Amino acid sequence: MQLQFPLAVGRQWRKVTDTLFKDNRSTARTTVDVRVIAHEKVRVIAGEFESTCWYAPSEQAIVKSTTTSTHRGTSHVELVDAAFRP
């Protein structure tokens, strides 16, 4: 997911991506609608972070995400180690 800064509550945007699968030359279009609804603390294996859209400014990273695809089902990703390097 591509974020648009600043991440202010109420901000909305849409990201459309076209993908070409090289193995069979098929294509797919993905549309993601994003809306910032709140600031919250999120706990993941790497620790607890103050976040918006599960993006932690202290780590400059998305620390958690959930994605649902009609082809691949639902996947969950969490940050497991935090070692910020400027």
Average pLDDT, integer, range 2-11: 85
pLDDT at residue 33, as a whole number:
80
Q: Is residue 6 part of a domain?
A: no
- How far is CA 42 from each of CA 12, 67, 70, 81, rounded to the nearest angstrom? 21, 17, 27, 14
Cβ atoms 41, 49 nearer than 8 A: yes
Q: Is residue 85 part of a domain?
A: no
> pTM of the predicted model, to two decimals?
0.55
pLDDT at residue 56, as a whole number:
83
Q: Is residue 63 part of a domain?
A: yes
51-76 pLDDT, tens digit each: 877 888 887 888 888 777 667 778 78
Q: Is residue 51 part of a domain?
A: yes
Number of domains the chain contains: 1
The 3 state secondary structure assigned to 20-44 is: EECCCCEEEEEEEEEECCCEEEEEE
pLDDT score of 28 more than 70: yes
Q: Is residue 27 part of a domain?
A: yes
Task: Give me the domain span that covers residue 39.
Answer: 12-78
**Position 84 confidence tier, pLDDT thresholds 50, 70, 90:** low
Q: Is residue 47 part of a domain?
A: yes
